[in-house]
Structure formats: structure tokens, C-alpha cells
Amino acid sequence: MSVVAADGTCHTAAPQSAGRAAAGAVLLVGAPNVGKSALFNRLTGSYAAVSNYPGTSVEVARGVMRTGDTTWDVLDTPGLYSLLPTTEEERVTQRIVLDGAADVLVHVIDAKNLERMLPLTLQLVELGRPLVVALNMMDEAERLDIRIDVPLLARRLGVQVVPVVAVSGRGLDELRQAVTAAEGHGAAVVPAYGNGAGQAVNRIADAMDSGGVRLRDHVQARIDRIDVRALAALALQGDNEARARLQQVAPLLDMDHLIAGTAAQLDGPPAYRMAFERRRAAQQMLDGVVAAGRGQRAPWVDGLGRLLARPATGLPVLAVVLYLGLYRFVGEFGAGFMVDAIEGILFENLLNPFFESVFAFVPWEWLRALFVGEFGVLTLGLRYAVAIILPVVGAFFLFFSVLEDTGYFPRLALLVDRAFKRIGLSGRAVIPMVLGFACTTMATMVTRTLETRRERLLATVLLALAVPCSAQLGVIIAILAGAPAALAVWTGVLVGSFLLVGLVTARLMPGAPATFHMELPPLRLPRPGNVLTKTYTRMHWYFVEVLPLFLLASVLLWIGDLTGGLGVVLSVLTPVVHALELPSDTATVFLFGFFRRDYGAAGLFEMSQQGLLSLRQLTVAAVTLTLFVPCVAQFLMMMKERGTRAALAVAAFVTPFAFGTGWLLNIVLRTAGW
């Protein structure tokens, strides 16, 4: 019986049942959601043992399959998309597969999505181990009129391909027979990868064979069962597990030098190049194998997806998306129409008079001020949160969810990848940047998913400086919507600051350039149910977080007002805002902004509605407030993620940069006659 041993390998032990011969171990491998567990249950019956993979919390299920007089141990591994792992579950599956102890691998794939599944099949073929492909969900593929030439696919892959329906048991006898037949016959086809990828893999494998010893004659038995080219391909893609296994069998070889030298000869990052070429090989292999059915995408959808990711076509589309989504919908509808309606009708005409009449009976002025005063929790905190911020973030999240549901964001990541590389980031940084437009605090935490420390620090600086959060963005667009020139200046200064600081920081912080590649999910029309659910959930999360903080900020301002502490802070800020030729009240707005960015934006919105600022002052204040030091929550998150020194350094840089830029902009605009 095969068991998962303490060292993570599978070993063959005594036969299971008296009178039956134990043949070996079968490993079920496949992506999540392809019916792998259903197939496992069908093959093994209801007797399965589930245990954690040694040293992890990842569960691996084991059961027994019988074919005639033979029993097989079957392992159901955690789902994975590629043998290059990104999660702990995938890492466990990779280790089990690379240990080579399974006698037959069964790759379970979704017959409806062959193109997305086949790159992993090719990786398994590369291993040179006995392999059977189980085309699961064939009934659903047939319902969608997807026709698959199974014999042709089997010939091209060089392994047996068996159509099955795990939930009904269709094709399982054929699958068992195929497993029996495959034992002892490793996959013989060597997938051909173009653009130097195949040669690069061979170069590493050949170097090992000619390194003084014949590798395959000397390696440990279980590693020898895996084709060295498969390990070479993984090591080339940056997989440490494969590199360590190669180094283990060829200790005299300078593996790092060999891999780095081979990688340097490839066009582009090896991880990307290998994944791309494998995907292309899979597409070629499927040529003539699959006839499109009703559920398949039209070719023009893929074409449209590619156009969105190319600069020449993608950038104009991005401009249109931002104009319609941010300027017209969030700015004009959300921050204009909706705020006017809620604040004007609900608060000014109904709620505020009601609150004031209720608290008119409170005899103490200082206590009345806590609720309905200048910084009152009802007249300021609640009003800002409900009447100004909520409609703005609601409109923003609706726009955001529509884009998200179409699959536009991954294309945006590819579109900006080249520009981001110039500033030391990769397209992967689009994720925290995009999330930063929702909430920069949360986005700062997401920077931990970036590959290098340098990239994480760069993204943190840029999020703190030049990425406004959703409410701030919507409110500032609303403030400047009536003056397109001012909006253009604000956008130009922000984008310019982003690029300038990114370029300079990238120069000051040396490090390896970031790499990025990802599989693009298909484009689709947004589903109203999805969009509304995501919008509601994000609004709910935001409001639950923002309301207590707004109320708390009001209380703190009230305390500061009572004790005189507020006056002291404002007396420090006032000369600074005067240097920018802004009215004294703007100091309060900047103080609001330190509590929360959106709180400050709401204060600026109110000042603009009251006509207290000229166009030049509005533009300068909007630019300075956007660049201004991150809010308290973001600052604390920076301390947590990047350390206190880095957080203080970012704040120490951002604050003078913001006010310096505002001061310079004021001079430029005044000179230009604004």
C-alpha cells in the first residue's frame, strides 16, 4: 500500500487485501473544480482516509480501487493549475508528483475547457511517467455541443484519453482499464516548445548529462523516475523545489550559474516564456480536435481582449472608460446629482432641522455642540458619511464591479506592465493600485503579494502619494467637474508625480526588475446579479468601516475644540496653507484629511459648495490634499507592513512633497493668469 510518509514521499508497503495483488499507486491530479473528488469517490467507493500532508495543514485523501484481482491505492491531491506552485496546496501536489512514487498519474480535466486545461497535461507529459487523461464532464460538453476528437487528442499527447462522467460513473470501466494498461509505460511524447524554450530546457538537461557523470545512471531511484527535462523546465521557471532536486543529483554542477546563463538567452522572463510556449503548444495540439459548441467564445471576443491589452488600442479605450465611468458617472452622477439630492433634500431640509430641534432642549452648549455643533457627530460626521461619501463610493463601486466582472482588470495589468517596469514595478502591481482606488489602506496591505521587497516598498510609496481613494477621487472629480482645465491640471500633476517619484525611487533603490505574467480569463458581459451583489457588499463593508471613524473623528475634533488643542494644531497648519494662498479654513480640511482622506475631501467639497475658494485655490487644494500625507489608518498599515522606519520615511517624504508641489503649482497657475 502506498502511504504518505513523514518525508513527504510515497512508499509501497504490503498489499491491502488477502488474495489480491497490489499493483501500485494512482495519483489523481487536476485543477480545482473539475470533478476530481467525485471521480475519486467513484473509483474508490466510500472508504477513504483523509490525512494532512506531513508538515502542512493540507489534506490528501487516500482510497483503494480494485480492477479484477488487483488493488490500487488512489491519492486525491489538492487542485493545481500548474506544476509551478503558488499556494501551499499546489506545493504539496507538486511534491507528491515530483516524488515519482505514483505508478500511474491520472490528469482529470474539464472537457468543456480543454484549452485552459491542456498546459498542465503537457507538463505532466514532460515528466515521462505513465499518464492517463480523464476527460471529465463529457455530458456537459455534449450538452454545449462541444465535439472532441478523442483518438486524435490521444495520438498527439501520446497517452490514453478516456471520456468520463464522474457523477454518473460513465466511462469508469474504460478508465480503470486504461490505468492498468498504462502502468509501466511512461509518456513518450516530448512536447515541442518554440522560441528557444525547448532548446533552453534541453541545454540544462544536456549539461547535467555531460557534467562528468551520466546523470540517469547515478541519481536516486525515485528522482530518476522523473524526466530530467521536466525538472529543468521548472527550475528554469524559477521553481526552487525543482532546482534543489537537480542540485541534489548533480552536486558538482553550478546549478545557479547554469540556469541563469540559460535564462539569459531566452526572449523575456523564463517563467513567462515557458508558460506562453506551453500554452501555444496546447493550442496547436487542439487544432482540429475540438469543434466549437454553443457555449464557446466567439473568436472576436479573444481579439477584443488582446486589443484591450495593447497600448495603441488599449490606452484610448482606457481613456474612454475613465471618462464615462469616473468623470460622467462617479463625478457627475454620484458626487453631483446624488450628493445634491441626499444632502440637500434629506439633510438640509429634514434631518439637520430635526436634530437641531431635538438637541435645542439640551441646556449646555458644549454638550449640544457634540451632536449638532460645527464638528457635531450628527451634523458633520453622519452627514459627511451618509450624504457625501456613501453616494460617491456607491457610484464608484458600481463602476468598479462592472469593470471587474467583464475581466477588464487583467488586461489593464498587461497594458500598464511596460510603463510600470520603467518605475521598477510590474503589471502585478496593478492589483494594489486598482484596489487603492477603493481604499489605499487595504491596498497597502495587498502590496505584500508583490514579488520583491523593492517592488513592495515602491508600491507603498506610490499608494501613499499619488493614488486617491474612491471617495476622495469621486469628490475631487465632482469639485473640479465644472472646470475641465482644472481637472486636467489635477490629473496631470498626479500622473506626473506618480511617474517622477516612481522613476527616482527606482533609481535610488537598486534591485532586479520585476517580472509578471498571468493567464487571461475570458472577457464576458457583466452579469447584473454579480455586479449588484459585489457593489452592495463593498458599500456595506465601506460604510461599516467609515461611519464609526467619521463619528470618532468628529468627537476628537470636538474635544480638540473644547480643550484648545485643535487651535494649536491649526496654528501650525495655517501658515502652511497661507503659503499656498489658501484660506485659513483649508487647514481644518487638511486636518480632516489626516483622520481619513475622504473626510478631508468631504470638507473641501463643502467649502467649494459654499463658494469659499477660487478656481486656482480649488485646484491647488485638491492637488495638495490628494498628495498629502496618508490618513491615520494607512500610516498604521505602512508601519505594520513595511516597518516603523519605512513608514516614517514615507510620511517625511510625502508631506513636504505635497505642500511643495501645491506651492509650486499655485505660482505656476497665478503666473498663467488663473
Binding site for other proteins (CB under 8 A): 32-33, 81, 86-89, 110, 112-113, 137, 140, 144, 295-298, 301, 404-405, 407, 409-410, 428, 431-432, 435, 442, 445-446, 448-449, 518-519, 521-525, 527, 529, 533-534, 536-538, 540-541, 545, 640
Q: How far is the CB of 439 from other proteins (least distance, A)?
A: 9
Distance CA 40, CA 43 (A): 5
Distance CA 489, CA 618 (A): 11
Q: How far is the CB of 223 from other proteins (least distance, A)?
A: 28
Distance CA 327, CA 341 (A): 18
Our CB check for other proteins shows the closer of 441 and 505 to be 441
Question: Which cell is 232 given?
Answer: 529543468
Distance CA 490, CA 427 (A): 24
Our CB check for other proteins shows the closer of 183 and 545 to be 545
Considering only CA atoms, which of 387, 340, 382, 405 is closest in space to residue 538? Answer: 405
Residue 165 is given by DSSP the state B
Q: How far is the CB of 81 from other proteins (least distance, A)?
A: 7
Q: How far is the CB of 485 from other proteins (least distance, A)?
A: 35
Residue 614 identity (one-letter amino acid): S
Q: How far is the CB of 248 from other proteins (least distance, A)?
A: 28
Our CB check for other proteins shows the closer of 78 and 128 to be 78
Q: How far is the CB of 537 from other proteins (least distance, A)?
A: 4
Q: How far is the CB of 8 from other proteins (least distance, A)?
A: 19
Our CB check for other proteins shows the closer of 147 and 524 to be 524
Our CB check for other proteins shows the closer of 301 and 481 to be 301
Burial (Cβ within 10 Å: 0-12, 13-18, ≥19) of residue 524: exposed
Considering only CA atoms, which of 162, 131, 427, 155 is closest in space to residue 286? Answer: 155
Our CB check for other proteins shows the closer of 137 and 200 to be 137
Give φ, ψ of 22 to 5 degrees. -85, 120
Residue 65 parent element (H or E): strand 59-67
Distance CA 497, CA 462 (A): 9
Q: Is the dihedral of CA 222, 223, 225, 230 positive or negative?
A: positive
Q: How far is the CB of 13 from other proteins (least distance, A)?
A: 31
Q: How far is the CB of 423 from other proteins (least distance, A)?
A: 20
> How far is C-alpha 146 from the geometric centre of its chain's CA atoms?
31
The CA-to-CA distance between both ends of the chain, in Å, stands at: 83
Our CB check for other proteins shows the closer of 218 and 527 to be 527
Q: How far is the CB of 339 from other proteins (least distance, A)?
A: 24
Distance CA 555, CA 367 (A): 11
Our CB check for other proteins shows the closer of 296 and 313 to be 296
Our CB check for other proteins shows the closer of 39 and 380 to be 39
Our CB check for other proteins shows the closer of 389 and 633 to be 633
Distance CA 125, CA 105 (A): 10
Residue 367 identity (one-letter amino acid): L
The residue with cell 487542485 is 79
Q: How far is the CB of 359 from other proteins (least distance, A)?
A: 31
Could you tell me if 668 and 610 are in contact, meaning their C-beta atoms sit under 8 angstroms apart? no
Our CB check for other proteins shows the closer of 327 and 543 to be 543
Q: How far is the CB of 187 from other proteins (least distance, A)?
A: 26
Residue 449 parent element (H or E): none
- The set of residues, in sequence order, having a beta carbon less than 8 Å from that of 422 and lying 6+ positions away, is 499, 502, 503, 506
Our CB check for other proteins shows the closer of 78 and 331 to be 78
Question: Which cell is 119 given?
Answer: 498546459
Q: How far is the CB of 435 from other proteins (least distance, A)?
A: 6
- The set of residues, in sequence order, having a beta carbon less than 8 Å from that of 211 and lying 6+ positions away, is 250, 252, 253
Q: How far is the CB of 533 from other proteins (least distance, A)?
A: 6
Q: Is the dihedral of CA 618, 624, 626, 631 positive or negative?
A: negative
Our CB check for other proteins shows the closer of 17 and 52 to be 52
Our CB check for other proteins shows the closer of 188 and 525 to be 525
Burial (Cβ within 10 Å: 0-12, 13-18, ≥19) of residue 364: exposed
Our CB check for other proteins shows the closer of 448 and 507 to be 448
Distance CA 393, CA 334 (A): 8
Our CB check for other proteins shows the closer of 140 and 332 to be 140
The residues facing 65 across adjacent strands are 72
How do beta strands 131-136 and 104-110 pair? Answer: parallel
Could you tell me if 182 and 160 are in contact, meaning their C-beta atoms sit under 8 angstroms apart? yes
- The set of residues, in sequence order, having a beta carbon less than 8 Å from that of 566 and lying 6+ positions away, is 557, 560, 591
The residue with cell 488582446 is 306
- The set of residues, in sequence order, having a beta carbon less than 8 Å from that of 60 and lying 6+ positions away, is 4, 50, 51, 52, 53, 75, 76, 77, 78, 92, 96
- Alpha helical stretches, state H, 564-643: 565-579, 586-595, 597-609, 615-627, 632-642
Considering only CA atoms, which of 327, 292, 306, 301 is closest in space to residue 525? Answer: 301
Q: How far is the CB of 298 from other proteins (least distance, A)?
A: 6
Q: How far is the CB of 37 from other proteins (least distance, A)?
A: 12
